[in-house]
């Protein structure tokens, strides 16, 4: 299994977390929102997966718990953001979603809402998203 080296972290949180959001899907028109798959959320799926695996191993969490935590957190920022079934649903354009994630990560650091994963001091939100990446592969 890939361990959490500098190369992994650089690919997950490089150039500020989440700016590598890709894989936008337009299939959820009924919800009036776009759906963003996080199976291709980061520059490197393998890197996000490695961080997620380390996080899940260390903090023993489940996919359902993570989805609820993330939905709650993002909904306080923007009411229409929902995380479920391995995707993120939001009416926001991709650029705004990126900006939202970046601001949540920044606020995590501001408020000491961080986790220590294999020695890395990381935003809880970036850990949770990577945790979902890992768990969605199972």
Binding residues for another protein, rule: CB under 8 A, are 1-3, 5-7, 9-10, 13-16, 105-106, 108-110, 112, 114, 116, 118-123
Coil vs helix vs strand at 64: helix
Please give the biggest Cα pair distance in the chain: 43
Spatial CA neighbour of 136 closest among 34, 38, 5: 38
| Closer of 58 and 71 to another protein (Cβ) | 58
Q: Least distance from C-beta 64 to another protein, angstroms?
A: 27
Q: Least distance from C-beta 44 to another protein, angstroms?
A: 13
CA dist list (Å): 25 to 33, 44, 88, 103? 10, 19, 10, 23
| Closer of 14 and 86 to another protein (Cβ) | 14
| Closer of 32 and 112 to another protein (Cβ) | 112
Other CB atoms within 10 A of residue 116 CB? 10
| Closer of 20 and 38 to another protein (Cβ) | 20
Q: How far apart are CA 17 and CA 27, in angstroms?
A: 25
Q: How far apart are CA 137 and CA 85, in angstroms?
A: 12
Q: Least distance from C-beta 59 to another protein, angstroms?
A: 17
Q: Least distance from C-beta 125 to another protein, angstroms?
A: 11
| Closer of 90 and 108 to another protein (Cβ) | 108
Q: Least distance from C-beta 82 to another protein, angstroms?
A: 26
């Amino acid at each position: 299994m890939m361990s959490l080296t500098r190369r992994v972290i650089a690919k997950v949180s490089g150039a500020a977390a989440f700016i590598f959001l890709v894989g936008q899907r337009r299939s959820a028109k009924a919800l009036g929102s776009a759906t963003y798959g996080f199976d291709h959320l980061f520059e490197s799926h393998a890197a996000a997966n490695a961080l997620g695996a380390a996080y899940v191993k260390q903090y023993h969490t489940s996919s359902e718990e993570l989805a609820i935590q993330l939905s709650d957190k993002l909904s306080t920022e923007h009411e229409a953001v929902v995380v479920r079934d391995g995707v993120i649903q939001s009416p926001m354009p991709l650029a705004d979603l990126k900006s939202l994630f970046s601001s949540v990560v920044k606020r995590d650091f501001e408020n000491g809402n961080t986790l220590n994963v294999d020695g890395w001091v990381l935003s809880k939100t970036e850990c949770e998203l990577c945790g979902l990446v890992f768990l969605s592969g199972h």
